[in-house]
């Protein structure tokens, strides 16, 4: 090995071991935010009919003595399966991601200036959700990943069955307040293992 090769190797090692400078603002801009998905179902009629069919099957399944009675259940089971399929076909998987605190703070500030009461809370949820939807996937795997607008999310609010809207908003706020999960994950026990 000649002197130049040895010198180049030493310089490479020094370069690798020398701490680099970085910009903290650039580093935190690239931080990751929590992301999660939820499947929502839109066919309320099928869900209601399935409930009624299940009630019928429950009442037929036992005779007066409490003994199992499978007679007459087969057509109802077929009907229940068809209704379950309709419900599945009305499903959409929503993927949400938490956002910078300033995004939500700006929405809240605007809401305080321009809205009152229940209307304000609803509008705040709509706007926060519009900023948090990453994608929506239908039951066949087709994906809609455009940037959702407030008006599109408002249409979802008006269309989704109320329990499904509530589930979506619960996920939104779970991701929004994920800093509490972060605090629990990196507690003293976590730090002692570093």
- Which tokens in the block code for residue 49? 């009919």
Place of tokens 């076909």: 89
> Using an 8 Å Cβ cutoff, are 164 and 42 in contact?
yes
- Pairing between β-strand 91-97 and β-strand 35-41 as defined by DSSP bridges: antiparallel
pLDDT tens-place string over residues 64-97: 555 556 667 889 999 999 999 999 999 999 999 9
> Using an 8 Å Cβ cutoff, are 100 and 124 in contact?
no
CA dist 102 and 100 (Å) reads 5
Cβ of 180: how many Cβ atoms within 10 Å?
Answer: 9
> Predicted confidence band at 8 (pLDDT cuts at 50, 70, 90)?
confident
Q: What are phi and psi of 30, to 5 degrees?
A: -95, 10
Place of tokens 């071991």: 17
CA dist 123 and 116 (Å) reads 10
> Using an 8 Å Cβ cutoff, are 41 and 164 in contact?
yes
Residue ranges of domains in the chain: 28-180
The percent of residues in the chain predicted with pLDDT above 70, rounded, is 79
**162 has pLDDT over 70:** yes
What pTM does this model have? 0.71
């Amino acid at each position: 090995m000649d002197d130049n090769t040895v010198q180049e190797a030493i310089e490479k090692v020094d370069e690798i071991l020398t701490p680099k400078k970085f910009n903290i603002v650039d580093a935190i801009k690239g931080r990751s935010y929590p992301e999660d998905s939820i499947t929502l179902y839109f066919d309320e009629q099928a869900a209601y009919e399935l409930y009624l069919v299940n009630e019928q099957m429950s009442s037929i399944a036992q005779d007066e003595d409490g003994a199992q009675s499978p007679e007459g259940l087969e057509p109802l089971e077929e009907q229940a399966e068809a209704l379950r399929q309709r419900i599945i076909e009305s499903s959409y998987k929503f993927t949400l991601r938490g956002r910078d605190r300033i995004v939500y703070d700006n929405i809240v500030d605007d809401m305080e200036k321009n809205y009152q009461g229940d209307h304000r809370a609803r509008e705040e949820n709509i706007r926060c959700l519009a900023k948090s939807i990453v994608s929506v996937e239908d039951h066949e795997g087709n994906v809609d990943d455009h940037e959702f607008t407030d008006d599109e999310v408002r249409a979802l609010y008006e269309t989704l069955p109320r329990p499904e809207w509530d589930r979506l908003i619960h996920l939104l706020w779970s991701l929004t307040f994920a800093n509490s999960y972060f605090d629990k994950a990196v507690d003293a026990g976590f730090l002692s293992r570093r």
